[in-house]
């Protein structure tokens, strides 16, 4: 029976024979060249199913194990799809790049978060979402770390998720600049990793206590 191959970003599928990979698409922004390349790879390796994921990526399903290395090479990407216990690629709404309601550059913020933290090991998977305004199209309140743009900067929520036990994230800080967001996420990750408690961020905070978590992380 086959198993996941994390170093190749490959998840074994229901048939227990073939694999799925998810090419890295930072900020959910694609161009025609990237789409053509993904489509060409799908044709070449007989990928039967391509799926737009909830994190604004494109998963390719039904890849043979012996083709995995060639698929990544043809995509021009380093193998690995950020699966398992790590920081996943941030999900962003379109934000002030195009949306008239946007206060902040959610795509740019998501890309910057990815540059710093995507793939960093964590006790459990950690999802981040970035929304350019309080309408929260990025679903920031139900991610382990959620950002919401306002006229005064960013609000940062922690502990949300929409998993087995859904949780709404709690407000940790507001009026943050871009640099302050990056720094605070770094502190959260350091603290989360240092405790060694293998729970999603929301359950981890519940165990620690939100007051203690806030004091420890915010100093
Ligand atoms: S969250 Fe706000 S900025 Fe982002 S797409 Fe929705 S309305 Fe636009």
pLDDT the model gives residue 27: 84
* Within-domain flag for 86: no
Q: How far is CA 155 from CA 43, 51, 175, 176, 214, in A?
A: 43, 31, 6, 7, 14
Percent of the chain with pLDDT over 90: 85
The CA 154 to ligand 1 mean position distance, Å, reads 13
Q: What are 14-52's pLDDT values in tens digits?
A: 999 999 999 988 888 899 999 999 999 999 999 989 999
Q: What are 96-128's pLDDT values in tens digits?
A: 999 999 999 999 999 999 999 999 999 999 999
The CA 91 to ligand 1 mean position distance, Å, reads 13
pLDDT the model gives residue 193: 97
Q: What is the pTM of this model?
A: 0.92
Whether residue 198 sits in one domain with residue 130: yes
Which amino acid residue places its CA nearest to atom 6 of ligand 1?
A: 137
* Within-domain flag for 85: no
Number of domains in the chain: 2
Task: Identify which has the larger pLDDT, 130 or 29.
Answer: 130
pLDDT the model gives residue 81: 64
| For the CA of 106, the nearest atom of ligand 1 | 4
pLDDT the model gives residue 6: 86
Q: What are 163-205's pLDDT values in tens digits?
A: 888 999 999 999 999 999 999 999 999 999 999 899 999 999 9
Q: CA 33, 35, 39: angle at the middle one, nearest 5?
A: 115
Which amino acid residue places its CA nearest to atom 2 of ligand 1?
A: 133
Range of the domain at 30: 6-75
Mutate to test the pocket of ligand 1, among 56, 98, 100, 102 (most ligand atoms within 8 A of CB): 102
pLDDT the model gives residue 150: 98
Whether residue 66 sits in one domain with residue 131: no
Q: How far is CA 103 from CA 99, 133, 152, 194, in A?
A: 9, 6, 9, 34
* Within-domain flag for 83: no
């Amino acid at each position: 029976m086959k198993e996941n191959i994390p170093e190749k970003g490959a998840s074994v599928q229901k048939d227990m024979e073939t694999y799925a990979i998810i090419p890295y698409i930072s900020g959910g922004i694609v161009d025609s060249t990237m789409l053509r390349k993904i489509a060409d790879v799908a044709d070449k390796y007989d990928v039967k199913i391509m799926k737009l994921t909830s994190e604004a990526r494109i998963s390719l399903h039904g890849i043979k194990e012996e083709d995995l290395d060639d698929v990544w090479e043809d995509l021009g990407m380093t193998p690995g799809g950020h699966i398992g216990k790590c920081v996943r690629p941030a999900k962003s709404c379109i934000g002030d790049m195009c949306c008239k309601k946007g206060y902040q550059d959610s795509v740019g913020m998501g890309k910057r978060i990815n540059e710093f933290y995507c793939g960093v090991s964590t006790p459990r998977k950690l999802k981040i979402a970035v929304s350019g305004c309080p309408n929260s199209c990025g679903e920031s309140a139900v991610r382990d770390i959620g950002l919401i743009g306002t006229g005064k900067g960013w609000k940062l929520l922690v502990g949300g998720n929409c998993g087995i036990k859904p949780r709404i994230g709690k407000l940790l800080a507001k009026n943050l600049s871009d640099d302050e967001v990056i720094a605070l996420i770094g502190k959260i990750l350091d603290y989360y990793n240092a405790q060694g408690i293998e729970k999603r961020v929301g359950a981890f905070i519940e165990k620690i206590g939100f007051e203690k978590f806030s004091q420890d992380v915010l100093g």
